[in-house]
Every structure is written in C-alpha cells, then in structure tokens.
Structure 1
Amino acid sequence: MSGEKPLPFRGGVGGGGERSELLARLPHPNPSPEGEGLRKELVAAAKVSIDKGSKSFALASKLFAPDLRERAWLLYAWCRACDDIADGQEMGHGMTAVSDAPARIEAMRALTARALAGERTGEQAFDALGIVAAECVIPASLPFDVIEGFALDSVGWQPQTESDLYRYCYHVAGAVGVMMALVMGVRPDETDTLDRACDLGIAFQLGNIARDIGEDASVGRCYLPRDWLAEIGIAPDAVMADRAKLAVLGERLADRAALYEASARAGAARLSYRSAWAVLAAAGIYGGIAREVARRGARAWDARVSTSRAQKLRWAAIAAVDAWRAEPAFDRTALWTRPRTSNIS
C-alpha cells in the first residue's frame, strides 16, 4: 500500500454550543501509575514515528488539542508499522517486493488481536493501538478492515472497476478516517459524519495512488481499475509505457479525490475548532498532491510529487481561517459509501 496515512475528524453539528457538547464527550485517559508510564513511552515513540514517516501529518497533528494529538500519534504509529511490515520498508520509504507476504499479514493480524485484547505485545506500535482503542472504544472490525487492505496487496490484487478502487481505498485509508472520527468523539450512530471522515481518507489514498503509479509499477502493483486501462488503451503490465494516456487517468484520480475532499470538508464544519483546523490543514496539504499530479500531466512521474514546508505552513494558515467558516454543503449521495458492520454504523 503506497503513501502516508490519513488523519480525519469529528461529530456534532454546527456552532459553538454543539461543538462544546462534542468536546464534553471526548474520552479522557485515566491510567494506573504503571500504565501512565507505559503510555508516555508509547506516545514518545509514536511521535518519532509520525515525525519520520509523514511530515505532512506531523504538522497537521500539532494543531489538535494535546490529548487528541497524542491519540492521533498512537493510531498513526500502528498504521505506519503495518504499512512498513507489509511493504518491506522503513518509515514509509524504500518499498520492496517481499517474498513472505502471507506470513507478514498473519503476524500483523495476530499482534493486532493481542493488542486489542489488552495484552502487551512487546511491539510499541501495536501496544499503541491497544491503548488508543481502549481509550476511545474503537471496534476491532476497523483495524482488521485496514489489515484486509494489506492482504489484498499481498496477493497482487488489482481493481477491476472504479467501485473496486474505492473499496480498496476504504480498507487502507477510509477505515483509518473512521477510527480517527471515533478518537475525536464522534458517536457510532453519527453515520453521515463517519462517512465524511471515511471520505477524507479515500481522498488521501486516491492522491497517493495518482502520485505513486510509477513507484507501484516498479514492484509489480497497479491500482488503476482495469476498466479504466482498457478504456484508454493501456496494457495492465505496461502502465508507464504511454505517459500521455496515463496523464488522463492521473487527472481522473485527482478529480475523484476532489469530490471526496469536498464531502469531507463539509463534514469538518461539525468539529471543534482545533480539530477542524487540523483536518482542513491536512486536506489542503495532502489534497495538493493530487492537484499537482493533474497539473504536471505526463511529467507527473518524472519526480515524486511533494509539498514544501512553506506550502504546508500556508495551508495551515488558510485552514486556521477556514475552520471558523461554514464549508459549502455537499451532497455525498452519489459517492461510493463505506461498508457497514454489526459493530459500528
């Protein structure tokens, strides 16, 4: 699975009184003295993970209130570790084809199950998941939904249709958005807000896919739907052969990412100010990746698309203002919607 991990969102609706009600229901950790020491250790390790693994999300996370910031780091650490295990990389860099992918997935599942059961695993990133899941009552179905995305990668899966693409994006990023929504105090029955949190994760992943087409192809992966490739006359095993044609699909991915981002931005108006600030900053910073891929056209894969520190700070400043404003309403009924489970709406 290519790219960084998303950090979406929060619930309640509209103005200050409802946002105060949201803050009142955010979980607050109350560990034992022994547990408090472990938690501090894991938070420190998680901060190192996000600082090294994603400068974009590290910056956005600093805009959260302190308790929420720590939980975001803890969740990120697990996501980052799973991604690195699956792709044979370190802190999101140096992706390689692995020969023991099924064994890696099973180890990931086993460590996650132990962490969610409240056991110490001896692996800091998995212990971090155990803490944040317990504090925020994250259902086990969501972390395992994320792992299913890694399992798809492990068998060389490729989407046939656009709907298949969105389902993959849900597994590897949208489900993380739903978990972050729960971390920020969204109730499981606030279905529309959870959908919009998922939408931001999908938007991020579509941007990842657009940016990383060349890198993915180098290790035998392709996340462009086969229907799209056939429509435009690109062979699935030679996606980089015709950059002009590929640019059409890069722009299509950017267009789809923009729709999901717009849905997420409409939902961000329901969050507390600092959470909205962080979410909108991340949306601007990371949404810029897909927009830049579209702008570069056939040259999009000559060099890896990234955002400079100055650009990140600019988006954070814009988000500081936008978080006070009501985002335009966005009807998401035409968008693909995440699967429902028995454990969460």
Structure 2
Amino acid sequence: MIAPADLAYCEAAIRTGSYSFHAASRLLPGRVRDPALALYAFCRLTDDSVDLTDEKSAAVLSLGERLELIYRGTPRDAPADRAFAAVVEQFAMPRTLPEALLEGMAWDAMERRYPTLSGVYAYSARVAAAVGAMMTVLMGVRCPYALARACDMGVAMQLTNIARDVGEDARAGRLYLPLDWFEDAGLDPEAFLSDPRPTPEIRRMVKRLVADANRLYFRAEAGLSELPLSCRPGMFAARYIYAGIAAELGRADYDSITRRAHTTKTQKLGWLAASAIKAGSGAVMPRSAVLYAKPLPEVAYLVEAAADTKPDHSPWGQGRTGELISVLAQLEARERARRDALATSARRAS
C-alpha cells in the first residue's frame, strides 16, 4: 500500500501540476484514485525532469535508472518513486507500459521529428496512451477492447496537447506536426520555427489534428462501458475536459501561435457535473460496435502487454528491454559527445 505521506506528496504535486487530471480524479473511487495519483505524480516527475532542464539526455538516463530500481522493488528514497513502486507491486503493472513513457521522453530528448501522422501517433502512444493503459489496469480491467479504447483516449489527448501548443513548442525549437503536412503545404519547417505565425496553412494543420483527436475521442467513449461503473464519471470528465480544449481551439480559428487555448474553472465544474450525470444515468451502458474496432497499429503493443495477465518470467513482465536499451544507448552516446565537446571547448579557452 502507498504510505500516507507519499500519497499526500503525490496529490499536492498533481493539484499544482495538472489541474485537469486532479479535477477528473475527484470523481474516481478511492481504491482507484489513490494509485492513480501516484501514477500521475510519477508521470509528472518524468515529464518535468526532461522538460525543465537543459540536460535532457542525462535526465532521461537518470529516469531509466529510477525505473529499474522501482521494478527491482528497491525504489529511490523519494515519495513519487516509493508510491509508484507500491502501485507496480499491488497491480502487477506490466513493465512495458512505464518503459513506453520513458521511451517517449527519450524521443523528446533526442528532438525527434515525425515524417508522418503515424509517427506522431507512435510518439503519442508512448507519452499518453501508455498512461491510459496503466489507468485501465488500475481499474482492474484487462479486456483488450477496453484497453484499445483507453489508448485511443490517450492519443486523442496528446494530439489535443500538440494542437494547443504549436506556438509554444515552435518558440522552444520543438515541432510535432507531421513533416509531410509541411511538404504538402509548400512550407519549410525550419522557416516556420524561426518565425512561427498563424498562417492559413498552419491553422489548417491544427484543425486537421483537432479533427483527428475528436475522431479518437468518439472511439474512446465506446470503451467506457467496459469500466467499473464507479470509474466512469472520472473518465467521462477527462474526455470532456480535453475535448473542451479542442473546442476552444476551434473558437480561436485554430490559432495556437498567438494564444494558448484553455478552459475555465467554471467549464471544468460543468463537465464534472455532466460526467457524473451521464455515467450514473444507467447501471449498464449499451455496447457500441465501435468498442471492437482494432487498436491503432502504433498502440497495439501496449494493448497486448496490458491484456496479458500472466507475463513471462516475473509478475510484471520483462518489458521491451531491447528497444529501450537501444534508445538509451543513443542518448548516452549523445551525452558523452556533448561532454567531450564541452571539455574540448574548455581546453581551447584556457
């Protein structure tokens, strides 16, 4: 079980770092809400450790070491690590899922760009759909159809984030929009990054991303009937809050360069109330044929890992060790090259 002091730390971190999730989590039953707070606190730690430092490669490598200690059952002496280690043990969390998150952070540290929308999906699978799959595991659900729809929700949320943050990312030198969209529009990505403007072409890209997110929100909602009744209000709330951000982008004519779409506290409270009403309107929600849609190819490995209730060799599986080691090795090489370059520069200066 999560130590009370560690749980309090996690809740405080989420309350200040992710208001949308904290608001939605209030509708979850305690048996799910507490481990979910621990999960999101660790995810927040992962995200901030990379985003808020210039030493991104070193930060990801350090997170890899921390995750290894967690799965050994000897977490680092820090509240978020201890709390997440308790979650891993209690729920036999498949190792593939948090490793996917770490791999996505590594891609960020490598400043990877994505030639097509499939690449954006693959990135979203790691940094968001993996979290959706972990949340589903916390609810005691291993149904592959429910997991596929949870991954749809995660990808939709990340597409919404990308659409909302185009300007902010560009000013930081980051680009998540598919490169082939720029080619089709006759735009140079480097020119856009050097002078980001809400041109008609860029607005159309944002609109296209929002439309794709909305399609996935629709698919995701079909999976809510497979969740415990007590968990549905929280998941409806998450779906409506993020879809609300997408709607705000539409109201701004898809300009996410000069402004950042956000929702108000009043709106969030309205969505929380609507979610509770919708989820409680009947003890059984009718199944939709959309439930049985195949998972996105980019998230299929997450669904397979989370649905496997008897992973090989250990209670928590072995994860995708080879893939993660390869990415971390690339990061380590980059970090070594960076240090060598700094040392050479220092010698020349002296």
Scaled by the length of structure 2, what TM-score is found?
A: 0.81
Is structure 2 residue 14 aligned with structure 1 residue 50? yes
Q: Give 1:242 shift.
A: 4.7
Go from structure 1 to structure 2 and tell me whether the alpha carbon gap of 1:59 and 1:340 turns closer, same or farther (over 3 Å shift). Answer: same
Q: Which one of 116, 127, 138 corresponds to residue 172 of structure 1? A: 127
Among candidates 272, 279, 283, match of residue 235 of structure 2: 279
Query: 1:61-80 maps to which residues of 2 (within 5 A)?
Result: 61-80=25-44
Which deviates more, 127-136 or 326-335? 326-335
| CA gap 1:99/1:146 in 2 versus in 1, 3 angstroms | same
**Could you report, residue by residue, the CA deviation over 1:77-114 in whole angstroms, capped at 9, with x for unpaired residues?**
000001000001xxxxxxxxx43221111100001110
2:214 aligned residue (258, 263, 266): 258
Cα distance, 1:334 vs. partner? Answer: 8.1
What is the aligned partner in structure 2 of residue 270 from structure 1?
A: 226
1:307/1:224 CA distance change after superposition, 3 Å: same
Q: Which amino acid aligns with 1:182?
A: V
Whole-angstrom CA distance in 2 between matches of 1:292 and 1:332:
28
Distance in 2 separating the partners of 1:332 and 1:159: 25
Matches of 1:103 and 1:249, distance apart in 2: 33
Which of the residues 191, 195, 204 maps onto 1:248?
Answer: 204
When structure 1 is superposed on structure 2, of 324-333 and 125-134 the one drifting more is 324-333
1:122 equivalent in alignment to 2:77: yes
Q: What is the distance in 1 between the residues matched to 2:198 and 2:28?
A: 43
* Alpha-carbon distance in structure 1 between the residues aligned to 2:56 and 2:103: 13
Measure the CA separation in 2 of the matches of 1:219 and 1:81: 20
How far apart, in 1, do the equivalents of 2:61 and 2:212 lie? 33
Distance 1:117 1:275, change over 3 A: same
Aligned to 2:267: 311
Structure 2 portions without partners, runs of 5+ = 308-350
C-alpha displacement of 1:263: 1.2
Q: For residues 216-262 of structure 1, give each alpha carbon's deviation from its aligned partner in whole angstroms, at most 9, with x where no partner exists.
A: 11111100010111112222123323522111011111111111111
> Are the aligned partners of 1:243 and 1:298 in contact in 2 as well (CA < 8 Å)?
no
Contact 1:234 1:242 in 2 (8 A): no
Change in 2 beyond 3 A, CA 1:212/1:185: same
Q: 1:213 to 1:319 in 2, by over 3 A?
A: same
- Taking the TM superposition and a 5 Å limit, the aligned residue runs for 1:10-159 are 29=1, 39-88=3-52, 98-159=53-114
Establish whether residue 205 from structure 1 lines up as the match of residue 158 from structure 2. yes
Cα distance in 2 between the residues matched to 1:197 and 1:167: 15
Match of 1:14 in 2: none
Corresponding letter in the other structure for 1:86: V
Most deviating of 175-184 and 300-309: 300-309
Q: For residues 344 and 278 of structure 1, do their structure 2 counterparts lie closer, same or farther at Cα, with a shift above 3 Å needed?
A: closer
Instruction: Show the counterpart of 1:340.
Output: 301
Larger Rg: 2
Query: Would the alpha carbon gap of residues 243 and 336 (structure 1) be closer, same or farther in structure 2, given more than 3 Å must change?
Result: farther
Question: Residue 321 of structure 2 aligns with which residue?
Answer: none
Distance in 2, Cα, partners of 1:261 & 1:306: 18
The Cα shift of 1:271 comes to 1.6
Judging by fraction of residues, say which structure has more helix. Answer: 2
Higher deviation after alignment, 316-325 or 277-286: 316-325
**Residues in 2 aligned to 1:145 and 1:295: alpha-carbon distance in whole angstroms:** 34
Q: Is the 8 A contact 2:162 2:176 kept in 1?
A: yes
Give the stretch that moved more between structures: 230-239 or 283-292: 230-239
2:180 is the alignment partner of 1:224: no
CA contact (8 A) 1:159 1:226 kept: yes
Give the CA deviation at 1:122: 1.4
CA distance 1:123–1:238, shift in 2 (3 Å): farther
In the TM superposition, residue 289 of structure 1 has moved relative to its aligned partner by 1.1
| Mapped partners of 1:198, 1:146: distance in 2 | 13
Aligned partners of 2:197 and 2:257 also within 8 Å: no
Identity of aligned residues (%): 34
1:152-188 deviations in Å (ceiling 9; x for gaps): 011110111111110000000000100110001012x
Contact 2:163 2:210 in 1 (8 A): yes
TM-superposed CA distance for 1:344, in Å, is 3.8
**Partners of 2:232 and 2:64 in 1: how far apart?**
32
Post-superposition Cα deviations, 1:279-318, rounded to whole Å, max 9, x if no partner, equal: 0011001111122213312533322211111100111111
TM-superposed deviation, 1:274: 2.4
Of 279, 299, 302, the residue aligned with 2:255 is 299
Distance between the aligned counterparts of 1:310 and 1:49, measured in 2? 22
Query: Which consecutive unaligned segments of at least 5 residues does structure 1 have?
Result: 1-28, 30-37, 89-97
**Whole-Å Cα distance in 1 between the matches of residues 74 and 245 of structure 2?**
39
Report how many aligned residue pairs link the two structures.
Answer: 298
